[in-house]
Amino acid sequence: MTRIEQLEREIASLSQKELSEFRRWYVEFDAQAWDSQFEADAQAGALDQFAEEALADHRAGRSRPR
């Protein structure tokens, strides 16, 4: 059995209260992981191309106020 399969079985056996607590924890955990990856990508310059494209579109008049 893989670790994922073992986790799936353990999660499936949680009570409703435990599952609710797990969901709350996982949402926070996943958000932190996403934030960390986004920060690393930003620092590495991986998002620079997208920013430049957006700024070029704005300068060319292809944007509008919300």
- In the chain, at which residue ranges do the beta strands (DSSP E only) sit? none
The residue count for the chain: 66
> Which residue bears the tokens 């999660």?
11
Task: Report the C-alpha gap between 33 and 26 in whole angstroms.
Answer: 10
Q: What is the pLDDT of residue 66?
A: 85
Give tens-digit pLDDT for 5-47. 999 999 999 999 999 999 999 999 999 999 999 999 999 999 9
Q: What is the pLDDT of residue 65?
A: 87
Query: Amino acid identity, residue 57?
Result: D
Task: Report the C-alpha gap between 16 and 58 in whole angstroms.
Answer: 49
